A = this chain, B = another copy of it.
Amino acid sequence: MESLKNENEKHSLNIPSFFPLAPFNFPAMVPLWMFPLACVAGNSFVLKPSEKTPGASMMLADLATKAGLPEGVLSIVHGGKQTVDNICRHPTVKAISFVGSNQAGEYIHEEGSRHGKRVQANLGAKNHACLLPDAGREATVNAIVGAAFGAAGQRCMALSTLVAVGETKDWIQDIVEGGKKLKVGCGFDAGVDVGPLISTQSQERVFSIIDKAVKDGAQIPLDGRANGKVDGYPHGNFVHPTVLSNVSTDNIAYREEIFGPVLVCTEPVDTLDDAIQLINANPYGNGVALFTASGAAARKFTHEIHAGQVGINVPIPVPLPMFSFTGNKASIRGDFNFYGPRGVHFYTQLKTVTTNWPIDDSTSLGGVIMPQMGKNT
């Protein structure tokens, strides 16, 4: 087609409707990853919050309305499994964003995809910290205490696993001391560092994992089960900071995402290479952190590790909004990551436009074009 001047353009257009499912632990942040981008891209948005924490979504919707979001653009529904099924099957739903557990997320990805929806699902995690001896000891220990026990370990980016390289195995004792000093209690009370878990079932599950872990050979230099209840909150679902050490990779505490204030220290390793091998063998790939002063170690780790979020001396490396929250391995289903450039891609639909404007339409293209079998060009 030599006589044609073609031009390609790309257009990103909106998906008419879309449906997110938000988790209990970040009931405001996670919806804010989603609906502002989705609505700015021209979609209407229906939000189904966790049935455990429906309040934050209602407040966000109220604020959005006050800020002038047109009626009908953002809606909220509450519900359980039947609601989820309706979302996955309804013909006007074009896309589904989900953050939560593996089981729910894999079901939604499969059911939604089968019904032609675009689905992104952020799932489970097991985030490792790798310690090198040249890191600043005090700063590193403080960072890990905060990242392992903060939010009572109930976040997908909690730094819940520690791989000590060489002499840094001695730093675990510092972490134990740091964990002991944290005050457990009601999150609304002054001076409290570690609040309760979301439910009694969660508390019981965490205790059960610790029990089994110790029974299967893990050491427990800091035992959060043994600590007393919190005064004034006899029914609080508290778990005190816990450190398990010398945990083998087949121990339940290593295999499962605990979602409580429990730091799992693997058997120490001798080299950075060993640590990278151990971490890469884990099925999850959400976040990871290396503590070091060395530019060379940082580059090697960054290049070789398989994880979506990599922190160098940053314990919880959640990307800034101009980047995307990237998952890897079993921590994600769907290709477009949350927020940032990939989030914009998720909430828009790509078109590619090719135009031909012959200068004189009255002069025909001259003969039938049969671009087959290599005989026409």
List chain A positions with a Cβ less than 8 A from chain B: 4-11, 13, 106, 109-110, 113-114, 116, 118, 135-136, 138-139, 142-143, 145-147, 149-152, 178, 181-182, 187-188, 192-195, 292-296, 298-300, 302-303, 306-314, 316-320, 322-326, 328-330, 333-337, 342, 345-346, 349-373
Contact = CB atoms under 8 A, between A and B. Distances in A.
Contacts of A359: 296, 300
Interface centre among A319, A326, A346, A357 (most CB of B within 10 A): A357
Given A293-B361, A313-B357, A320-B354, 20 more contacts: A8-B322, A106-B114, A109-B113, A136-B358, A139-B364, A150-B369, A150-B371, A178-B368, A181-B368, A187-B373, A296-B358, A298-B355, A300-B357, A300-B359, A302-B353, A310-B351, A312-B355, A312-B357, A313-B358, A335-B336
Given A293-B294, A323-B352, A351-B302, A143 B365 contact: yes
A139 to B, nearest CB: 4
Contacts of A308: 350-352
A309 B6 CA distance: 13
A5 B295 CA distance: 13
Nearest to A191: B375
Copies in the complex: 4
Contacts of A370: 146, 149-150, 182, 193-194
A138 B113 CA distance: 43
A350 B356 contact: no
Given A178-B368, A313-B355, A335 B330 contact: no
Contact of A292 (B8, B295, B333, B373): B295
B333 A350 contact: no
B353 A310 contact: yes
Contacts of A361: 135-136, 139, 293, 296
A104 to B, nearest CB: 15
A95 to B, nearest CB: 10
B354 A314 contact: yes
A318 B8 CA distance: 10
Nearest to A293: B361
